[in-house]
Copies of this chain bind each other. A is one copy, B any other.
Amino acid sequence: MPEQNNSHLHALKVSCSNCTLRELCLPVGLNRDELAQLDAVIRQSRRLKRGEYMFRSGEAFKSLFAIRTGFFKTCMSSQDGREQVTGFHMSGELLGMDGISANVHGCDAIALEDSEVCELPFTRMQSLSRDIPSLQHHFYRLMSREIVRDQSIMLLLGNMKADERLAAFLLNVSSRLATRGFAANDFILRMSREEIGSFLGLKLETVSRTLSKFQQQGWIKVDHKHIQLYQTDELKNLISGCIHAQSH
């Protein structure tokens, strides 16, 4: 692992090497020169402790943020303090794209564990992407991917019953962890039952009960936030009838 000195980009590349899907990360198919240009634009990475905000709804939009390590939730809040979780995000994912349209962040992004992110100033990325066609195309693809992801969640919320939603959620988390080189069938959830419920359009009691039901049937083992999947086929069966069963 040579010449690591002072290259924020290198760190990004390292996080990329953790991903089977290179597309999660930025530097794809760039030559040495283009990499250097990109590296110059990426700001010093920033560390966040659990509970800290990466950005808040209503703040001026200036940058996108790439997660190098850690785990985040994005959520929107109403006046009376209730919140709705709109997504959970892992290393390699890009946050803040909803802020482009109105130049204002449309949601809060909160670290669920100690994390590290890279800041990508948007106007500079935009002009850089004019010089590097493959970068431009990559940005369009990332935004399109976010649209596809949101629509698959719309399907989940509009069509599925509680147990189907939980099964889809567990399989999604599992596959995303596997993509990053972690165990697919034995993991720690970083979020609370209430946050899962908020994301899935369910109450926390329903989440808890449904997990217990899966455990009783021998499909999974639940020890608080420690989840083990024993029979993923049964979980897949549950959602096989649903539209576009595979995860985003």
Contact = CB atoms under 8 A, between A and B. Distances in A.
A80 B97 CA distance: 35
Contacts of A98: 144, 147-148, 151
Interface stretch (A38-46, A129-137, A209-217): A129-137
A121 interface: no
Interface in A88-103: 97-102
Given A144-B97, A144-B143, A242 B78 contact: yes
Chain A contact residues, majority secondary structure: helix
Nearest to A130: B130
Interface of A: 76-80, 82-84, 86, 97-102, 106-107, 126-127, 129-130, 133, 136-137, 139-148, 150-151, 153-155, 157-159, 198-201, 241-244
Contacts of A106: 148, 151
A75 to B, nearest CB: 9
The 4 A-B pairs of least Cβ separation, nearest first, read: A100-B144, A150-B150, A157-B157, A158-B201
Contacts of A137: 126
B78 A243 contact: yes
A231 to B, nearest CB: 23
B107 A151 contact: yes
Nearest to A85: B158
Contacts of A146: 147
17 contacts: A76-B155, A78-B243, A84-B155, A84-B158, A84-B243, A86-B151, A86-B154, A97-B147, A99-B144, A101-B141, A106-B151, A107-B151, A126-B137, A127-B133, A147-B147, A150-B151, A157-B158
Nearest to A125: B140
B150 A147 contact: yes
B101 A144 contact: yes
Residue picked from A80, A106, A151, A242, most chain B C-beta under 10 Å = A151
B130 A133 contact: yes
Contact of A154 (B99, B154, B241): B154
